[in-house]
Structure 1
């Protein structure tokens, strides 16, 4: 490690030499890291039997859990690293050797393994591996597009059906959400549509944008963007934002009442001119959930039809058992009529006040699963019809005598943890199962024994593979200690505790409940959810389908 004083004594030439050295060392270390990942994957997957390969938690998922915890990666990111490592280990040994010397940057390696994904012929693999090992050292200075083209030249030469760029544009259609540069409170939408679909959506959004009166403060572009949100809310009209009560387009904004979206905030937005005196609606230390709910939907509930929203059982219950969370009476309040609004979020930029004084103040809200909603946008949601539910204090959530948690208990646990509590996992809590850390009935239905886990990590904990599995211990503050089959220990903390350090998350330890031992049942694997096809069968079919389409596109109809 070079400190600032040592670096300050280096000449300009020596600084560049040091930079090049550490860049090569970084690539070399990345290659070593991927080699370790490849070995982990091989141990879990290479000799996997047919029974294990059909389980929901197969060898790949077992390896992914170990890698994601060790590297602090999400499940998808860990799988991506595993695919790269596997390709280098199995098909591109010469490229891997050049990578290990530090001659190829990691970003080029990722591109190489992605572009060569569809190659199936071993002779083609050997030829392309040799070609890329010699040429890829010059790819680092190329743009991503040029790098892809340089790689595709060799694939086109030795295995034309495997070139990914030869797919028809229609097969590339997709809608994507989010960009790393998105400002808080907004999300970029980008993608590709069929031309006919794009024309339909454009016409509809434009028509909806013109359906409000001329006094609406929003620009045409802002109204079109809001119209897309209105479509997502299941309506074909846009609510006018003018102040005229006689306007035929005014009324409750359907976007604020059509779906359930949870936002966690410590205090509600306040008018900037009122300071801190008008905070009667909520004490400073009290958390609130702003819930955007359907007009006639009633209390919070979770459906079990989606794999991420159900509550699959702990070890003592069959995985296919339905789970409907109880919905006891719950008190919600609609957004107050005097809720502050910031007019600066609508209209042209030149309409903003010269001094930039905010109209609304307050801390931001957090969307379950990620995303920050600044106070002005939170105030807009409340003013246009969102409901406000005050979370129950954890000490008021006592042990329940039944398996399924009540609405208030489920809401508290999800907003306390915000995400899956497995190391490195970022699946939103409202797309997770609520798991009894100590399985029911030995473990109580209590906030100190409940935590969100995504379906994969819930199954991973519930059905240990081989001689052992992952164990999870939940602590009174909501944190978890995970122990891997290898003995490695990982600690996870509720995300709300990190975002709001003064939030109350400590709960008393629930008393043990009488009942049969959760380990009394034998042969856990007979209840493990099974795949219709193995992971490798699905991957092979996808590659073969893409190769066939690439081959057929150059043939005259009817193919």
Structure 2
């Protein structure tokens, strides 16, 4: 691979590659930030839309980089912080003399600093950060926190409270909180997961807890053999108190897809456990001993379903064919996705060759942000962005089980229109946010700054108390 006679030449290649890597990452992030700025200027007022400027930019980023929507959103926010809150650090990053680890630490540890103080802090850190490259992560955090404390003591980050980040597959504990972890068989884990999901859904929509917090509380309810969670909304018209049958947690079902040969023992092709992935053939046969077996029909040459909503048979096939949202890089399971008509109904029929799954965010992106898609009879999607960038995705289920990629029939469909812009009258129909991302960030920062201020005050009180108890004035 290398024709260098001297080892020092290899070391030179390493050093140059490291600097070029940092430069490329910096350029990519600054390009993301610039794209965000252009979306702000070109699109109508989307700040209060569920698909806001950040989500619209993330749709482009996830498609071109083939990453999930959540990672793309994080990258957009990271890029904007680098470009607009830390421009001096960004210049150092572009030179390649600091790496991504350094930049991510700086962005994270300066996130709570007041905007008016950031320019001076940015310049100070940019002058010194190249000297910190050899520091370990804890020491690097200490250096950044030291500079933050000099400019804005209340902006020093506060460690998160475990109690506020409750989730069932727990990995950390604190006094008063339990540690629950373990390695389970995939089928047992899926059954437990489904049970927790069912319990978490027994409260009304006004319950103040997050989804993860409801799952954590569902573990206690499950241990007490309770059929439902107690809703904490405090409303007299709470629908959970009515015992709605569709929200009871009486049963938990898991779904496994496998070939007939695997069930019969003539093949060791693994199956697929929805939500947890590949299931070895031996495990498939073990689960099948007590399971209800149901053949999956491939709707080849089938007539379109009547009406807008697909039949249960079509939904079942689409669910196993797609498994996840069909947007590039998105892994949202079909249970949390919408069935989207590629050519909008009624011009496009409700048929497997014209329907697939998009998660709610990507469904809205396609509908309101000028994206265009085309679907092939085997389920392949050709997606085109408003900028003209084109990418192709194949169904995840059909990629693992080729039988599911059997063409379901050619349709005589009109071409879908490509809309480069999102007119204001169309955006008015988009679901709205209760708070903008900027307001969410402001509230989190204000709460953490208050907590840091209280910690500083408590430290000062303790210091004064120690002085009062131990300080003895010198005799004269």
User: Does TM-score exceed 0.5, indicating one fold?
Assistant: yes
Aligned to 1:533: 435
Distance across 1 between alignment mates of 2:150 and 2:166:
29
Decide which of 152, 161, 164 is 1:159's aligned counterpart: 152
Distance across 2 between alignment mates of 1:47 and 1:396:
44
Decide which of 253, 264, 269 is 2:257's aligned counterpart: 264
Distance across 1 between alignment mates of 2:300 and 2:32:
44
Aligned to 2:167: 175
Aligned to 2:233: none
| Contact 2:304/2:350 (8 A) holds in 1 | yes
Aligned to 1:323: none
Aligned to 1:431: 336
Aligned to 2:411: 510
Distance across 1 between alignment mates of 2:446 and 2:271:
46
1:15 aligns with 2:10: yes
Deviation at 1:389? Answer: 2.3
Aligned to 2:66: 72
Deviation at 1:82? Answer: 1.2
| Contact 1:477/1:505 (8 A) holds in 2 | yes
Instruction: Please list, as runs of the form range in 1=range in 2, the aligned pairs for 1:396-475 lying within 5 A after superposition.
Output: 397-464=302-369, 469-475=370-376
| Contact 1:37/1:85 (8 A) holds in 2 | yes
Any idea what the Cα deviations from partners look like across 1:209-242, whole Å, max 9, x if unmatched? Answer: xxxxxxxxxxx9879x96996596365499xxxx
Q: 1:386/1:546 Cα in 2 relative to 1: closer, same or farther (>3 Å)?
A: farther
1:543 aligns with 2:448: no
Deviation at 1:37? Answer: 0.8
1:195 aligns with 2:175: yes
| Contact 1:92/1:129 (8 A) holds in 2 | yes
1:486 aligns with 2:395: no
Decide which of 38, 57, 60 is 1:63's aligned counterpart: 57
Deviation at 1:103? Answer: 0.6
Aligned to 1:290: none
Distance across 2 between alignment mates of 1:524 and 1:420:
24
Q: 1:523/1:46 Cα in 2 relative to 1: closer, same or farther (>3 Å)?
A: closer
Distance across 1 between alignment mates of 2:32 and 2:193:
44
Any idea what the Cα deviations from partners look like across 1:185-231, whole Å, max 9, x if unmatched? Answer: xxxx4433453341xx77xx9xxxxxxxxxxxxxx9879x9699659
Instruction: Please list, as runs of the form range in 1=range in 2, the aligned pairs for 1:26-175 lying within 5 A after superposition.
Output: 26-45=21-40, 51-123=45-117, 125-164=118-157, 166-167=158-159, 169-170=161-162, 173-175=165-167
1:448 is paired with a residue whose SS is coil
Q: 1:138/1:407 Cα in 2 relative to 1: closer, same or farther (>3 Å)?
A: farther
Aligned to 2:204: none
Any idea what the Cα deviations from partners look like across 1:317-338, whole Å, max 9, x if unmatched? Answer: xxxxxxxxxxxxxxxxxxxxxx
Structure 2, unmatched stretches of 5+, are: 197-221, 226-249, 462-476
2:409 is paired with a residue whose SS is coil
Q: 1:46/1:193 Cα in 2 relative to 1: closer, same or farther (>3 Å)?
A: farther
1:372 aligns with 2:372: no
Distance across 2 between alignment mates of 1:525 and 1:170:
39
Q: 1:482/1:145 Cα in 2 relative to 1: closer, same or farther (>3 Å)?
A: same
1:98 is paired with a residue whose SS is helix
Q: 1:431/1:18 Cα in 2 relative to 1: closer, same or farther (>3 Å)?
A: same
| Contact 1:37/1:82 (8 A) holds in 2 | yes
Deviation at 1:497? Answer: 3.1
The two structures, once aligned, show a CA RMSD in angstroms of 3.5
Deviation at 1:414? Answer: 1.6
Deviation at 1:450? Answer: 0.6
Distance across 1 between alignment mates of 2:283 and 2:19:
46
Q: How many matched pairs?
A: 405
TM-score normalised to structure 2 length: 0.75
Aligned to 1:477: 378
Deviation at 1:404? Answer: 1.2
2:297 is paired with a residue whose SS is coil
Structure 1, unmatched stretches of 5+, are: 177-188, 206-219, 239-256, 277-283, 285-361
Any idea what the Cα deviations from partners look like across 1:109-166, whole Å, max 9, x if unmatched? Answer: 122212221122322x1233223223332444344333333322222232222222x3
| Contact 1:436/1:450 (8 A) holds in 2 | yes
Distance across 1 between alignment mates of 2:173 and 2:140:
26
| Contact 2:314/2:352 (8 A) holds in 1 | yes
1:233 is paired with a residue whose SS is helix
Distance across 1 between alignment mates of 2:70 and 2:161:
25
Which structure has greater helix proportion?
2
Distance across 1 between alignment mates of 2:120 and 2:134:
24
